[in-house]
Amino acid sequence: MEQTFAIIKPDAVAKNQIGDILAVTEAAGFKIRAMQLTQMTRKQAEGFYAVHSARPFFGELVEFMCEGPCVLLCLEREDAVAKWRETMGATNPANAAEGTIRKRFAESMGRNCSHGSDSAENAAIELAYFFPGNILQ
């Protein structure tokens, strides 16, 4: 079994899509091992997305991630990192496959309703960042 880190981003929480997205998540075979509704501070969002700090969209991305509550998740299943990326679909919902979370719920490239770690190594870093010592086994 593998774990990954996911976020239901503020756009989807504001549109009352938490339940719909969790239903897709569970139907795709993921077990929820940790879950928290929280509003990120600017500092938390900047730290989380530090890898993108030189990108032109960084300021907008940090603003967006802090604009309202989001849901932080530890998800577990076989091959969780790759399967969650597949279940979410492409970063830009216009390019996301039919039936994926981003295709169904995202508004745009920036406001794209969900996050997923891009490697097992980054999943461990991101889980430790938001759920220090707080994940069910």
Q: Cite the active site residues.
A: 115
Q: Which two tokens stand for residue 103?
A: 């295709």
Interaction of residue 61 with ligand UDP, rule CB under 6 A:
yes
17, interface contact from Mg ion, ligand UDP, none, CB < 5-8 Å by kind: none
Please check whether residue 46 is in contact with residue 37, taking contact to mean a CB–CB distance below 8 angstroms. no
Is residue 44 a contact residue for ligand UDP (CB under 6 A)? Answer: no
Q: Find the helix packing angle between 80-88 and 120-130, rounded to 10°.
A: 80
Interface with Mg ion: number of residues (CB under 5 A): 1
Of 32-40, 93-101, 112-120, 122-130: span binding ligand UDP (CB under 6 A) = 112-120
Which listed range, 4-12, 23-31, 71-79, 117-125, lies at the site for Mg ion (CB under 5 A)? 117-125
Q: How far is the CB of 21 from ligand UDP (least distance, A)?
A: 15
- Does 67 bind ligand UDP (CB under 6 A)? Our answer is no
- Cβ 95 to Mg ion shortest distance, Å: 15
| DSSP code per residue over 104-119 | HH--SSSS-SEEE-SS
Q: Which of 126, 118, 102, 135 has its CA nearest to residue 40?
A: 126
User: Tell me, what amino acid is at 1?
Assistant: M
Beta bridge mates, 7 = 72, 115
Say if CB 89 and CB 102 are below 8 A apart: yes
91 near ligand UDP (CB under 6 A) = yes
Of Mg ion, ligand UDP, none, which one sits near residue 34, judging by CB under 5 to 8 A according to partner kind?
none
Residue 109 near ligand UDP by CB under 6 A? yes
